Structure 1
Amino acid sequence: MADEFDYVIVGCGAAGSLLAARLSEDAQSSVCVLEAGPKDRNPFIHIPAGFIKTLKDPGVTWQFSTEPTERTGGRRIATVQGRTLGGSSSVNGMIYNRGQPNDLDHWAQRGNRGWGYADCLPYFMRTERRIGYGDPERRGRTEGIPVTDMDWIHPVTEAFIAGCVGLGIPRNPDYNSGDQAGVGYFQRAILNGRRVSAYRAFLHNALNRPNLSLRTNARACEIILEGKRAVGVRYLSERGGKPVEVRARREVILSGGTANTARLLQVSGIGPGWLLQKLGVAVQHELAGVGENFRDHYASRFVMRAKPGTMTLNELSKGLNLGKQLLRWGTGQPNILATAPSHAHVFWKSFEGLDQPDLQCVFTPGSYKEGMVYVLDDYPGMTAGAWQHRPESKGWVRARSTDVFEDPEIQPNYLSDEMDRRVHIGGMRLLRRMLSTPELAPFVDQETLPGPDVQTDDELLDFAFKNGSTTYHLIGTARMGPAEDPTAVVDDRLRVHGMTGLRVVDASIMPAMVSANTYATTLMIAEKASDFIRGREMASAA
Structure 2
Amino acid sequence: MSDGEFDYVIVGAGSAGCVLANRLSEDGNATVCLLEAGPRDRSWQIHVPLAVMWAMMNEKINWKFNSAPQRQAGGRSIYMPRGMTLGGSSAINGMVYVRGNPADYDDWAEAGNAGWSWADVKPYFLKSENNEQFAGDGHHAAGGPLNVTFLSDPNPVVDTFVAAAESLQHRHNPDFNGETEEGFGIHQVTQKKGRRMSTATAFLDPVRGRKNLTIMTDAPVERVTLEGGCATGVELTRGRKILARREVILSAGAITSPKLLLQSGIGDASELQEYGIEAKHQLPGVGRNLQDHASIHAIVRTKSRVPVGFSVAALPRLAWSVVNYALRRRGLWSSNMVEAGGFVRTRPELTRPDVQFVLMPGYRARPPRLIAYGHGYAVTTVLLRPKSRGSVTLAKNGNGFAPVIDPHFFEEPEDMETLLQGFKESRRILEAEPFQQYEPFHYQPETAASDDDLRQYILENSATIFHPVGTCKMGSDADAVVDERLRVHGVQGLRVADASIMPTICGGNTSAPAIMIGEKASDMIKEDAI
Whole-Å Cα distance in 2 between the matches of residues 191 and 404 of structure 1? 43
| Distance apart, 1:406 and its partner CA | 4.4
- Answer yes or no: is the 8 Å Cα contact 1:296–1:470 preserved in 2: yes
Whole-Å Cα distance in 2 between the matches of residues 154 and 63 of structure 1? 29
Three-state SS of the structure 1 residue aligned to 2:173 is coil
Which of 331, 339, 344 matches 2:340? 344
Partner residue in 2 for 1:335:
331
Pair 1:278-2:270 in alignment? no
1:109 maps to amino acid: E
Whole-Å Cα distance in 2 between the matches of residues 179 and 226 of structure 1? 48
Partner residue in 2 for 1:540:
none
Q: Pairwise mapping of residues 82-481 of structure 1 onto structure 2 (< 5 A)?
A: 82-133=83-134, 135-236=136-237, 242-306=238-302, 308-315=303-310, 319-332=315-328, 334-370=330-366, 372-373=367-368, 375-401=370-396, 406-456=401-451, 458-481=452-475
Three-state SS of the structure 2 residue aligned to 1:98 is coil
Structure 2: give runs of 5+ residues left out of the alignment. none
Structure 1: give runs of 5+ residues left out of the alignment. 237-241, 538-542
| Distance apart, 1:446 and its partner CA | 3.1
Whole-Å Cα distance in 1 between the matches of residues 274 and 306 of structure 2? 56
* Deviation digits for residues 137-183 of structure 1 (CA, Å, limit 9, x no counterpart): 22121112100112213232211211111111111111101410111
Q: Normalising to structure 2: TM-score of the pair?
A: 0.97
Whole-Å Cα distance in 1 between the matches of residues 158 and 246 of structure 2? 51
Whole-Å Cα distance in 2 between the matches of residues 197 and 16 of structure 1? 12
1:304 maps to amino acid: V
- Answer yes or no: is the 8 Å Cα contact 1:366–1:376 preserved in 2: no
Whole-Å Cα distance in 2 between the matches of residues 536 and 290 of structure 1? 24
**Aligned length in residues:** 528
Whole-Å Cα distance in 2 between the matches of residues 501 and 112 of structure 1? 20
| Distance apart, 1:320 and its partner CA | 2.9
- Answer yes or no: is the 8 Å Cα contact 1:221–1:404 preserved in 2: no
Partner residue in 1 for 2:492:
500
Three-state SS of the structure 2 residue aligned to 1:175 is coil
Partner residue in 1 for 2:61:
60
1:415 maps to amino acid: F
Q: Normalising to structure 1: TM-score of the pair?
A: 0.94
- Answer yes or no: is the 8 Å Cα contact 2:473–2:503 preserved in 1: yes
Partner residue in 1 for 2:72:
71
2:376 maps to amino acid: G
| Distance apart, 1:112 and its partner CA | 0.1
| Distance apart, 1:314 and its partner CA | 0.8
Whole-Å Cα distance in 2 between the matches of residues 227 and 266 of structure 1? 17
* Deviation digits for residues 69-93 of structure 1 (CA, Å, limit 9, x no counterpart): 2322121111010000000011000
Whole-Å Cα distance in 1 between the matches of residues 443 and 401 of structure 2? 38
- Answer yes or no: is the 8 Å Cα contact 2:261–2:286 preserved in 1: yes
- Answer yes or no: is the 8 Å Cα contact 2:195–2:329 preserved in 1: no
1:459 maps to amino acid: D
- Answer yes or no: is the 8 Å Cα contact 1:134–1:177 preserved in 2: no
Whole-Å Cα distance in 1 between the matches of residues 495 and 426 of structure 2? 41
* Deviation digits for residues 491-542 of structure 1 (CA, Å, limit 9, x no counterpart): 00000001100000000000001001100000001100100000189xxxxx
Whole-Å Cα distance in 1 between the matches of residues 252 and 214 of structure 2? 17
Change (3 A) 1:78 1:137: same
2:111 maps to amino acid: R
- Answer yes or no: is the 8 Å Cα contact 1:367–1:382 preserved in 2: yes
- Answer yes or no: is the 8 Å Cα contact 1:361–1:387 preserved in 2: yes
Whole-Å Cα distance in 2 between the matches of residues 363 and 314 of structure 1? 14
Three-state SS of the structure 2 residue aligned to 1:523 is helix
* Deviation digits for residues 8-43 of structure 1 (CA, Å, limit 9, x no counterpart): 000001111010000000001000011000001111
Partner residue in 2 for 1:515:
507
* Deviation digits for residues 441-465 of structure 1 (CA, Å, limit 9, x no counterpart): 2224234311234222x22111111
- Answer yes or no: is the 8 Å Cα contact 1:128–1:147 preserved in 2: yes
| Distance apart, 1:349 and its partner CA | 1.6
Whole-Å Cα distance in 1 between the matches of residues 30 and 369 of structure 2? 44
Range moving further from structure 2, 406-415 or 292-301: 406-415
Change (3 A) 1:178 1:221: farther
Whole-Å Cα distance in 2 between the matches of residues 12 and 450 of structure 1? 40
Whole-Å Cα distance in 1 between the matches of residues 275 and 179 of structure 2? 45
Whole-Å Cα distance in 1 between the matches of residues 439 and 352 of structure 2? 30
